[in-house]
């Protein structure tokens, strides 16, 4: 079982991570909107589906990043990761997408470690885009999806499948101070 507090906390952690990781392109208007399991508003010919797991003894969050590959996505991804966009294609583009989901999930993983012991994260792995139709096989206790758009152009869809162990109850909330703390890993000069 998963409580409303836990659902809101997980959503808040991922939204915070998205905001922090696209802050370097803040000259643009961005929006994080919840989506249903139906089709996304923008359908690109080329899409990559990347999965990553965040797990503890009590729960597992399967994160699916459905990344739309079009010029705007490549441009924004290059800005976020500080990579010259001319070189962002093929395997380098795939690596950049994997690094981006690592950034998003790494921040969430660190925040979850304040509430739970022994939280770990897998490396990202690529799936065929058709696999997104089979999310129900995971039998998630709760699933939620968000679409991230910049200047009203959809960049990616993030689906979170939270699975809780049999007989366990996932109930936590993130304290305001943890939700608003500055990102870690930055060098400050005094």
Per-residue pLDDT of 109-142, as tens digits, reads 999 998 998 899 999 999 998 888 888 899 999 9
- What kind of architecture, by CATH, is found in domain 4-168? 3-Layer(aba) Sandwich (3.40)
Q: CA angle at residue 18 from 32 to 174, to 5 degrees?
A: 100
Query: What predicted TM-score, i.e. pTM, was given to this entire model?
Result: 0.83
CA angle, residues 153, 154, 159, in degrees to nearest 5? 165
- pLDDT, residue 15, reads 92
Shortest CA distance to 156 belongs to which of 55, 57, 53, 35? Answer: 35
Beta partners for 54? 61, 121
The pLDDT value given to residue 176 = 53
Confidence of residue 150 (pLDDT cuts 50, 70, 90): confident
**DSSP letter assigned to residue 181:** P
Per mean pLDDT, which range of 50-54, 63-67, 91-95, 103-107 is the poorest?
91-95
- Distance from C-alpha of 122 to C-alpha of 55, rounded to nearest angstrom: 8
Share of the chain above pLDDT 90, in %: 41
Contact between 51 and 64 (Cβ < 8 Å): yes
Query: Domain residues of the chain, as ranges?
Result: 4-168
**Distance separating alpha carbons of residues 45 and 71, to the nearest angstrom:** 12
For the cut 60, the answer to whether the pLDDT of residue 76 exceeds it is yes
């Amino acid at each position: 079982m998963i409580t409303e507090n836990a659902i809101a906390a997980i959503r808040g952690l991922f939204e915070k991570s998205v905001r922090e990781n696209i802050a370097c392109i803040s000259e643009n208007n961005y929006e994080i909107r919840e989506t249903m399991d139906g089709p996304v508003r923008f359908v690109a010919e080329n899409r990559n589906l990347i999965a990553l797991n965040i797990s503890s003894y009590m729960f597992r969050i399967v994160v699916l990043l459905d990344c739309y590959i079009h010029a705007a996505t490549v441009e924004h991804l290059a800005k976020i990761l500080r990579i010259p966009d001319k070189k962002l294609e093929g395997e380098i583009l795939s690596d950049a997408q994997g690094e981006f989901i690592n950034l998003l999930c790494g921040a969430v993983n660190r925040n979850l470690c304040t509430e739970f012991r022994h939280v770990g994260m897998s490396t990202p792995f690529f799936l065929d885009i058709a696999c997104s139709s089979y999310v129900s096989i995971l039998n998630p206790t709760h699933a939620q999806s968000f679409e991230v758009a910049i200047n009203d152009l959809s960049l990616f869809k993030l689906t979170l499948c939270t699975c809780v162990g049999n007989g366990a109850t996932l109930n936590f909330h993130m304290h305001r101070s943890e939700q608003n703390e500055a990102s870690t890993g930055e060098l400050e000069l005094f």
